[in-house]
Chain A
Amino acid sequence: MNLGRTNKYLGGLLIAFFLLSALLGWLWTPYDPLALDLRARLQAPGAAHWLGTDEYGRDVLSRLMAAARTSVTISALTVSFAVTFGIVLGALSGYARGWIDRAVMLLTDTLLAFPSILLALALLSILGANIWGVILALGLAYMPTVTRVVRGAVMSLREQEFIEASRLMGHPVGYTLRAHVIPNCLAPVIVIATSMFGSVLLTESALSFLGLGVPPPAPTWGNMLAGARPYMSQASWLGIFPGLCIALTLLGINLFGDYVRDRFDPRMKGL
């Protein structure tokens, strides 16, 4: 069996499946994910409700689809935020060196001295638990990693002849960075961004599980799991399906991440 192909196709398939569910969840869900139906409380999976209902009679499948939408939005925006600002800061500090470099690195190293989930927790208590607070908190918590990687790549790039040539031709710094430096350090960023997607998704679910992420009643996989805890013995499906969604999505991202790494960083091939 070829592991590389499995990574690409199985990973891609899993990601596509959840992306499509998220997309579909935007347009249509079998039931309203927020609608209460107290007569249909805690129904086991069956014909009417494929994946059962929760303690308020809400349809689990519809909620999972709506949650996929939230998770995808949060992860995508968070990774975009972290990558954009990480590239800008990393490129600036690696290219300019001097006091800018020292200041940026001081900030980065300080932020990296906190476990990322803890930093996100602390930032969330400042920003408030809502979708934008979560995105900003997670984005700030994950940005330092990108900054470090880009800075490292830029520092070795800036000594090369073609960058010097661009400088000598009198191009403004901004142009040199945009046209020559940044495109050449994108490979490691793409590798990191792919795996970051998974780790953001995981952290977001953990925050929701702790009740500190996107507030209920809006469904997320994490807060659905938290809500399932008291009902585990009578309604185990409430605990099984949201977790399965997180695990399968993460598996897809991890597999696909391996493929992306092999593709963009051939030295790591087969590792």
Chain B
Amino acid sequence: MTRFVLSRLVSAIPTLFLVSLAVFTLIRLIPGDPVSLMLGDNVDDAAYAAMSHELGLDRPIAVQFLMWLQGAFQGDLGRSITTGEAVLPLVLQRFAITAQLVLVAVALATVLAVPLGMLAAWRQNSAFDLGVVVGATALMSIPTFWMGLMLLLLFGLNLGWLPVLGYVSPFDDFGAGALYLVMPVAALVLHECGILVRMSRASTLDVLRLDYVTHARAKGLTEGQVLRRHVFRNAFGPTWTLLGLILGNLLGGVAVVETVFTIPGLGRLIVESIYGRDYPVLQGCLLFVAFTYVVVNLIVDLCYPLFDPRVKTT
């Protein structure tokens, strides 16, 4: 077990290194010169050179990369060009908001969708199954931002049940914060439910047709025992992997949903930094998101043996 964990951890290191290199390269490829962006166009050569030196831009590109990496290790991702704020605290503060939204949504979607998919698979081709499949495909086809807009139109504007725009931290005022989160969370849950139901149904169907399930039934186990002990546990694997991908994707910024409901999350920060050409912020966000993505998938990998002991040996 320890070896499994260690080997997975070590195998993530080159990926993380390459991801940092990719982020660094991407930002360098963006047309435009950061120094003229910060100082404006009409600037004398001395000031320009001084700024270049301060930012380390007069050094070889490899040295720049290593300096940036060293800074990143020490938690220094530079400062925002527009506000002068330190990037890392800014990213973390915005990420906390996105994480609340996403974690609640993914947890809810899992609890709703996984059992539903499994039940539909168990009753394959019944009216219930058909309803679930059709519903899931329809939900999956509705983009979160449109779902958000429609919820807003119905419950916010027409019925007036829920606050329309903005964000209140649930840690400051739990009741109000929760109210503000209802619609964004619902938009995400409905869309992800569609995807998760289909996945959990498909992997359950895969398991149901295996010989050992027939065997379990043949030896006289009740249907409940067959499903609980033999089917559901084994069918959860692929869904678990998909959950990791979904979580990583959403944590990377649900920019569209945050835009619909004007929530100041990480996704908004990324979009704003692109609009404002605030490259240090964009670079910090990209690095942070890619790291989160890799780490979330690593955690998903590490959890695998918990419900599938066979993974340990491989």
| Chain A contacts to B: CB under 8 angstroms | 1, 3, 106, 109-111, 113-118, 121-126, 128, 198, 202, 205-206, 209-212, 225-226, 228-229, 232-233, 236, 239-240, 242-243, 246-248, 250-251, 254-255, 258, 268, 270-271
Question: Which A residue's beta carbon lies closest to that of B249?
Answer: A115
- 18 additional A-B residue pairs with CB within 8 Å, beyond A121-B274, A128-B31, A206-B255: A109-B18, A110-B15, A110-B19, A114-B289, A115-B248, A116-B249, A118-B253, A121-B271, A206-B145, A210-B256, A229-B149, A232-B157, A239-B150, A240-B150, A243-B143, A243-B146, A246-B143, A254-B137
Question: Which B residue's beta carbon lies closest to that of A247?
Answer: B142
Instruction: Tell whether, in the assembled complex, residue B15 and residue A271 are in contact, meaning their CB atoms are under 8 Å apart.
Output: no
A258 CB to closest chain B CB (Å) equals 8
B82 CB to closest chain A CB (Å) equals 15
Question: Which A residue's beta carbon lies closest to that of B289?
Answer: A118
Main secondary structure of the interface of B (DSSP, over half): helix
In the complex, which residues of chain A have a beta carbon less than 8 angstroms from the beta carbon of B256? 206, 209-210
B214 CB to closest chain A CB (Å) equals 17
Q: CB-CB contacts of B278-301 with A at 8 A, as 1s and 0s?
A: 000010001001100110000000
Instruction: Tell whether, in the assembled complex, residue B286 and residue A122 are in contact, meaning their CB atoms are under 8 Å apart.
Output: yes
> 9 A-B Cβ contacts within 8 A?
A110-B18, A110-B19, A115-B253, A118-B252, A122-B286, A210-B255, A210-B271, A246-B146, A271-B201
C-alpha gap A106/B205 in the complex (Å): 34
Specify which of A110, A212, A232 is in contact with B22 (CB 8 Å cutoff).
A110
Given contacts A1-B130, A113-B294, A126-B26, contact A233 B141 (CB under 8 A): no
Instruction: Tell whether, in the assembled complex, residue A225 and residue B149 are in contact, meaning their CB atoms are under 8 Å apart.
Output: yes
In the complex, which residues of chain B have a beta carbon less than 8 angstroms from the beta carbon of A198? 141
In the complex, which residues of chain A have a beta carbon less than 8 angstroms from the beta carbon of B294? 113
| Chain B contacts to A: CB under 8 angstroms | 15, 18-19, 21-22, 26, 29-31, 124-125, 130, 133, 137-138, 140-143, 145-146, 149-150, 152-153, 157, 201-202, 205-206, 248-249, 252-253, 255-256, 259-260, 270-271, 274-275, 282, 286, 289-290, 293-294
Instruction: Tell whether, in the assembled complex, residue B145 and residue A209 are in contact, meaning their CB atoms are under 8 Å apart.
Output: yes
Which A-B residue pairs are the 6 nearest by beta carbons? A243-B146, A250-B141, A251-B141, A115-B252, A271-B202, A110-B18
C-alpha gap A115/B250 in the complex (Å): 8
C-alpha gap A63/B312 in the complex (Å): 56
Specify which of A3, A114, A205, A255 is in contact with B143 (CB 8 Å cutoff).
A205
Instruction: Tell whether, in the assembled complex, residue B293 and residue A115 are in contact, meaning their CB atoms are under 8 Å apart.
Output: yes
A132 CB to closest chain B CB (Å) equals 15
Given contacts A121-B270, A229-B149, contact A126 B31 (CB under 8 A): yes
In the complex, which residues of chain B have a beta carbon less than 8 angstroms from the beta carbon of A205? 143, 145
A109 CB to closest chain B CB (Å) equals 6
Question: Which A residue's beta carbon lies closest to that of B270?
Answer: A121
In the complex, which residues of chain A have a beta carbon less than 8 angstroms from the beta carbon of B19? 110, 113-114
In the complex, which residues of chain B have a beta carbon less than 8 angstroms from the beta carbon of A106? 18
In the complex, which residues of chain B have a beta carbon less than 8 angstroms from the beta carbon of A254? 137, 140-141
C-alpha gap A111/B18 in the complex (Å): 9
Specify which of A117, A125, A212, A225 is in contact with B146 (CB 8 Å cutoff).
A225
Given contacts A110-B22, A113-B19, contact A255 B290 (CB under 8 A): no
In the complex, which residues of chain A have a beta carbon less than 8 angstroms from the beta carbon of B149? 225, 228-229, 232, 239, 243
B200 CB to closest chain A CB (Å) equals 11
C-alpha gap A243/B205 in the complex (Å): 33
In the complex, which residues of chain B have a beta carbon less than 8 angstroms from the beta carbon of A271? 201-202, 205-206
Instruction: Tell whether, in the assembled complex, residue B143 and residue A206 are in contact, meaning their CB atoms are under 8 Å apart.
Output: yes
In the complex, which residues of chain B have a beta carbon less than 8 angstroms from the beta carbon of A114? 19, 22, 252, 286, 289-290, 293
In the complex, which residues of chain B have a beta carbon less than 8 angstroms from the beta carbon of A124? 274
Specify which of B146, B270, B275 is in contact with A118 (CB 8 Å cutoff).
B270
C-alpha gap A113/B292 in the complex (Å): 9
A65 CB to closest chain B CB (Å) equals 19
In the complex, which residues of chain B have a beta carbon less than 8 angstroms from the beta carbon of A126? 26, 29-31
Instruction: Tell whether, in the assembled complex, residue A251 and residue B138 are in contact, meaning their CB atoms are under 8 Å apart.
Output: yes
In the complex, which residues of chain A have a beta carbon less than 8 angstroms from the beta carbon of B29? 126
B271 CB to closest chain A CB (Å) equals 5
Specify which of A3, A117, A125, A211 is in contact with B130 (CB 8 Å cutoff).
A3
Question: Which A residue's beta carbon lies closest to that of B204?
Answer: A271
Instruction: Tell whether, in the assembled complex, residue B157 and residue A270 are in contact, meaning their CB atoms are under 8 Å apart.
Output: no
In the complex, which residues of chain A have a beta carbon less than 8 angstroms from the beta carbon of B22? 110-111, 113-114
C-alpha gap A206/B271 in the complex (Å): 12
Instruction: Tell whether, in the assembled complex, residue A243 and residue B150 are in contact, meaning their CB atoms are under 8 Å apart.
Output: yes
Question: Which A residue's beta carbon lies closest to that of B150?
Answer: A243
Question: Which A residue's beta carbon lies closest to that of B255?
Answer: A210
C-alpha gap A263/B67 in the complex (Å): 53
B309 CB to closest chain A CB (Å) equals 26
In the complex, which residues of chain B have a beta carbon less than 8 angstroms from the beta carbon of A255? 137
Question: Which A residue's beta carbon lies closest to that of B133?
Answer: A3
Instruction: Tell whether, in the assembled complex, residue B153 and residue A239 are in contact, meaning their CB atoms are under 8 Å apart.
Output: yes
A155 CB to closest chain B CB (Å) equals 18
B25 CB to closest chain A CB (Å) equals 10
C-alpha gap A205/B152 in the complex (Å): 19
Specify which of B26, B133, B259 is in contact with A123 (CB 8 Å cutoff).
B26
Question: Which A residue's beta carbon lies closest to that of B203?
Answer: A271
Instruction: Tell whether, in the assembled complex, residue B124 and residue A251 are in contact, meaning their CB atoms are under 8 Å apart.
Output: no
Instruction: Tell whether, in the assembled complex, residue A109 and residue B138 are in contact, meaning their CB atoms are under 8 Å apart.
Output: no
C-alpha gap A247/B150 in the complex (Å): 12
